[in-house]
Structure 1
Amino acid sequence: MVNRRRAGLLRGTVYRVFYRLPRRMQRFLARRISPKYILGAVILLHDHDGSRLLLLRQPPGHGWGLPAGLIDRGEYPIDAAVRELAEETGVRLAGGTELVPASPNAVVHTSGRWVDVVFTANVDPDTTELTIDGAEVLDIEWHDLANLPPLTPASAKLLSHYGIGPYAESLGEPVSD
Structure 2
Amino acid sequence: MIRSVLCSLRDFSRLPLLLQAAWLSFGLGLFFVLLYLWVFNLVDYGLDGASVESLTGKVLYVDRGGVLVEDADSGEYTRLKVVRGISYLNADHDRLLGHRVSFTHLRDALLTCNLDGQQLCSAQCASATECLDSRRERESPSGMLGFAFGSSLVCFGLHRVRQRKSAPRAGIF
Q: Give TM-score scaled by structure 2 length.
A: 0.25
Greater share of helix residues, 1 or 2?
2
Q: Give TM-score scaled by structure 1 length.
A: 0.25
